[in-house]
Amino acid sequence: MKYRTIGTDPATRREVSVLALGAMLFGSVTDEETSFAILDRYVEAGGNFVDTSDNYAFWVDGGQGGQSEELIGRWRRSRGVGHEIVVATKLGARPLAPGTGYTDNAEGLSAKVIRESAERSRERLGVEKLDLLYAHIDDHAVPQRETVEGFAELVAEGTVGLLGVSNQAMWRVERARALAAAAGLPGYEVLQYQHSHLRPRFDVPSELFPDGSLGHAGAELLGCLRAEPDLTLVAYSPLLAGAYVRRDKPLPPDYDHPGTPARLAVLREVARETDASVNQVVLAWQLGGELPIVPLAGASSVAQLEENLAAVDLELTVDQRSRLDAAH
């Protein structure tokens, strides 16, 4: 395994494995025995960066989520896992009532919610401190200063380490970071957005993003990474839920555009040249690039995890990387 540092403050920064493990479906779609086996193998391979959320996976049973955090808590207790494993979680998108969702009834990002939701996450996970806590989605109904101060209070109290943000417009992220900096408070240092080798359309509206996607890592976010050395991108869904390699998994609609075939073609070329899978090439491309990107890949079996782990040691040549970058 290889590692990189996230965060800048010596009091809160952490050394994390370059491949993060997504636990979204652990405890719901993925049963406990399988989830434990995946977590065990990940740690055995040197992995130490596990990602979850307080709302995972509410859509499976129409509830409010919490299954993933609860499973990780049981796994931690059964294995005697301590602070050596960095567990990241999120708040803000948990439905306030069963049968609702984050587009119509999200908990939001008020100071009260931040405190209460973080406490519930700590209890479910069985930790005294949340190593990394994200604002999962934006909340335009709450002043950003209140959100910034709410997160900062938990950092000051020692119950939260690093702060992160996901699925927000970059102008909102930078406004929040500016508010924090002006007040001498900790701000967002980890950005969790969808990012893969294929480039999505950004103009496809959705219920959460009526003006087009704010959940993908676009030019503004990648430009921020180049300009701000204290930021790290944790790239979720790098493998597009299996769509690169599974015939029964079509590409999401926002990848249906003229640029996709050329990028798929070069991925397959490089996979043949390296005797690797397309999935492994995608992860290696992210891992070895010039921008600080940590792929966040889930797994529903130990075999899938093994495939992902092998990408850590896959070295792409300068020519291969150049071709992957240039395809459009």
Dihedrals phi, psi of 193, to nearest 5 degrees: -140, 160
What's the average model confidence in pLDDT over 109-125?
98
Provide the Cα torsion 59, 296, 240, 193; round to 10°. Answer: 80
pLDDT at residue 37, rounded to an integer: 98
Neighbours of 13 (CB within 10 A): 15
pLDDT at residue 328, rounded to an integer: 85
pLDDT at residue 23, rounded to an integer: 98
Q: Which residue has the tokens 């993003």?
A: 209
Helix axes 144-157, 111-125, angle to 10 degrees: 40
What the chain holds in terms of domains, given with CATH numbers, is 3-256+277-315 (3.20.20.100)
pLDDT in tens, 68-103: 999 999 999 999 999 999 999 999 999 999 999 999
**DSSP states of 25-67:** TBTTTB-HHHHHHHHHHHHHTT--EEE--TTTTHHHHTS---H
pLDDT in tens, 288-300: 999 999 999 999 9
Percentage helix, strand, coil for the chain under 3-state DSSP, each rounded to 5 = 40, 15, 45
* Residue 180 near residue 191 (C-beta atoms within 8 A): no
pLDDT at residue 50, rounded to an integer: 98
pLDDT at residue 241, rounded to an integer: 93
* Residue 108 near residue 65 (C-beta atoms within 8 A): no
pLDDT in tens, 128-184: 999 999 999 999 999 999 999 999 999 999 999 999 999 999 999 999 999 999 999
pLDDT at residue 78, rounded to an integer: 98
pLDDT at residue 157, rounded to an integer: 98
Handedness of CA 141, 143, 146, 149 (dihedral sign): positive
Dihedrals phi, psi of 96, to nearest 5 degrees: -75, -15
**DSSP states of 242-257:** GTTT-TTSPPPGGG-S
Model pTM above 0.85: yes
